[in-house]
Structure 1
């Protein structure tokens, strides 16, 4: 299989990875020929990249760290919790969250165990689910990324559980924001931007009232947009005044935001998302946390076509554990010409060769 941009695909291309909706129902099964109508639907649903069948990469398979069943259960749990809280009256909202807290925590622990037990690098490009509400999917993705960072930093089980729950609920304040503003495709007015920024205060005020939830969880919602140099919001906190969980979730939040399709912009690839984080290292984000994140995710996902610094081209075959920016490449071209006998180039052993470009067309 090969990873390509959805808008570059021609009708008749064969899908190599099944696409589901948020409830786990198969929308498009792998092996199906994609039509113009289907491709248009995928683009409208925000599916920027998909895996297709390709003769030179038939034996390459991208595998998910989080099992599909768990991912779908997690998404449904987040969705049910957020919708019930949003629709509940003021008197019932606290009861709803208290009722759901054990289920949310259980999901967090199961995701944590999958990450701890897996030797694979995390790539959510392999998990193609169409979800009508960005907040639900984003909350899960941030949870997965935040836990990956926490595992790499050797946080305790208690700390990881708190990080995961804090990440899962970090954007809960957005359910009380007008969806027309949240999903507005045009530039926000200053007033609208201030309304959206208010989700941190709203989330904090809601969560801190719940005695069954650790106080630090409410600070994850409150502080995940704070930045080390004081340029964040809502309080302009600096450095050590920002809770470690909020620093960690802030990194996961930004990465998922830029690597997910939004109504106002297409998704970046993981290596581009990492560049965004590194651009803010030290000034905005904790550099050690970024380094931990880099060690845990697939910077260049399996199936991605890349160009190397020595001019060779190929497709990412597999990842190298803890060296996720130096994968194993199946070389298909040399000096611009396709070669008859493709071979492997392990970038973890050839340190003078780097990835210089990625292609998704």
Structure 2
């Protein structure tokens, strides 16, 4: 994205900082990627910062990407949803109140695609940007939660609630320093203790909004609680989690595994199924995970995959009883990964 070195004034409100801003003594005042609000302008003026570098475009992938004719309309809408989510989260990080109108608009956009599951999954798989994970993850979890609700035959209102819960589940992270959120490596014990507060921060942000259902609020504060009681922030067991929270937990874990992040490469959906089966029902509700395994794998049939030996194949079958072991056609041969112990799928193309 293009950058511009500009004078600090109210004219740059709603822009995004392209570089960290420091005092003359070398202390950071505002981190890069911060949404510039009136509060931020006052802060910069208080430290006598005269000029800053901003992005000219707010787009997560740039206007050039959105204008690319090879991008489908569904993918363009997905990018716009991520950009709108980015605006919400950056606004919160800069001291603004939650933009509830925008939250509802994105929720409606996600819900409108309920009938096109294949397109949703294709969008999520085809557009993964490591340094924008925070924003795309919220939209992805909204999609996955909505699909799980659909497969569980929940009501339209419940499915729409789940989309909103997914969108809001991590908003508490806006109250945690960018240095911790964007750290390129494992968190130390103190940093992890800070991160463990984000469900409570998220609940605090939304608790006063009467138009957010109580089950959504519970999903936000409970989505990191585990079935065996070893989660956070309260350490409660699964029988004390509401259904929305259980669904968000599964969606959150699946997207985290299959997303590329600043400190790790993304894994294939098949690796995610295997890892989720490995962590088992100590973390994820058995019924919710069963619904995921019974329904999601079929949408990867027809996908092109790359093996670790460089060969390219096509997924032709995925057994729900062994979702991480598809049958792949490679040229004229068929490889059953339930039996094959040597070859591995390294990438979903």
Q: Following superposition of structure 1 onto structure 2, how do residues 179-328 of structure 1 map, counting pairs within 5 Å? A: 179-294=178-293, 295-297=295-297, 298=299, 302-305=303-306, 315-318=313-316
Matching residue of 2:86: 79
Which structure 1 residue ranges, 5 or more long, are not aligned? 1-19, 32-62, 308-312, 333-341
The question of 1:25 aligning with 2:64 is answered yes
Task: Please state how far the C-alpha of 1:325 moved relative to its aligned partner.
Answer: 5.6
User: Is contact 2:60-2:82 (8 Å) kept?
Assistant: no
User: Is contact 1:315-1:331 (8 Å) kept?
Assistant: yes
Per-residue CA deviation, residues 179-199 of structure 1 (Å, 9 max, x unaligned), is 111111233221111111111
Give the Cα–Cα distance (whole angstroms) in 2 for the partners of residues 30 and 327 of structure 1: 32
Give the Cα–Cα distance (whole angstroms) in 2 for the partners of residues 193 and 317 of structure 1: 38
User: Is contact 2:318-2:326 (8 Å) kept?
Assistant: yes
TM-score by length of 1: 0.68
Matching residue of 2:48: none
Matching residue of 1:144: 143
Q: Closer, same or farther in 2 for the Cα pair 1:304/1:121, shift >3 Å?
A: farther
Give the Cα–Cα distance (whole angstroms) in 1 for the partners of residues 120 and 261 of structure 2: 24
Task: Please state how far the C-alpha of 1:132 moved relative to its aligned partner.
Answer: 3.9
User: Is contact 2:75-2:123 (8 Å) kept?
Assistant: no
User: Is contact 2:316-2:328 (8 Å) kept?
Assistant: yes
Matched positions, count: 283
Give the Cα–Cα distance (whole angstroms) in 2 for the partners of residues 188 and 82 of structure 1: 22
Give the Cα–Cα distance (whole angstroms) in 1 for the partners of residues 195 and 319 of structure 2: 38
User: Is contact 1:146-1:252 (8 Å) kept?
Assistant: yes
User: Is contact 2:131-2:262 (8 Å) kept?
Assistant: no
Task: Please state how far the C-alpha of 1:360 moved relative to its aligned partner.
Answer: 3.7
Per-residue CA deviation, residues 101-150 of structure 1 (Å, 9 max, x unaligned), is 331331231232333xx5x7935564225364321011111112222222
Task: Please state how far the C-alpha of 1:175 moved relative to its aligned partner.
Answer: 1.1
CA RMSD of aligned residues (A): 3.4
Matching residue of 2:106: 104
Which structure 2 residue ranges, 5 or more long, are not aligned? 1-58
User: Is contact 1:22-1:131 (8 Å) kept?
Assistant: no
Matching residue of 1:358: 344
Give the Cα–Cα distance (whole angstroms) in 1 for the partners of residues 238 and 67 of structure 2: 47
Q: Closer, same or farther in 2 for the Cα pair 1:76/1:290, shift >3 Å?
A: same
Give the Cα–Cα distance (whole angstroms) in 2 for the partners of residues 243 and 111 of structure 1: 25
Give the Cα–Cα distance (whole angstroms) in 1 for the partners of residues 317 and 267 of structure 2: 20
Task: Please state how far the C-alpha of 1:86 moved relative to its aligned partner.
Answer: 2.5
Give the Cα–Cα distance (whole angstroms) in 1 for the partners of residues 107 and 126 of structure 2: 22
Task: Please state how far the C-alpha of 1:211 moved relative to its aligned partner.
Answer: 1.2
User: Is contact 1:271-1:300 (8 Å) kept?
Assistant: no
Q: Which has the higher contact order (CA 8 A, sep 6+)?
A: 1
Q: Closer, same or farther in 2 for the Cα pair 1:102/1:262, shift >3 Å?
A: closer
User: Is contact 1:23-1:72 (8 Å) kept?
Assistant: no
TM-score by length of 2: 0.70
The 3-state SS of whatever aligns with 2:329 is: strand
